[in-house]
Amino acid sequence: MRSSTGSFTGGREGVIGADAARLKVYVIPTNEELLIALDTARLIGESEPSG
């Protein structure tokens, strides 16, 4: 992706789009697979009977 300065964001946070645009578009890198796995592990742990 290209930032507003024309350089690539390279997997980092940054603003993309034209400098004159009315709205700013931000790139925020995430690891959705990791977040899903962590949420799933937490939910499975909560559903197991304790004791």
pTM for the complete prediction?
A: 0.44
3-class DSSP state of 25: strand
Taken in order 10, 13, 18, 23, the sign of the CA dihedral is: positive
Domain that holds residue 29: 1-51
The mean pLDDT value for 24-37 works out to: 90
19-39 burial code (b ≥16 CB/10 A, e <16): eeeeeeeeeeeeeeeeeeeee
Q: Which helix (H) or strand (E) holds 14?
A: strand 14-16
Beta bridge partners of 15: 26
CB 15 within 8 Å of CB 26: yes
Position 38 pLDDT exceeds 90: yes
The pLDDT value given to residue 7: 52
Query: How many domains does the chain contain in total?
Result: 1
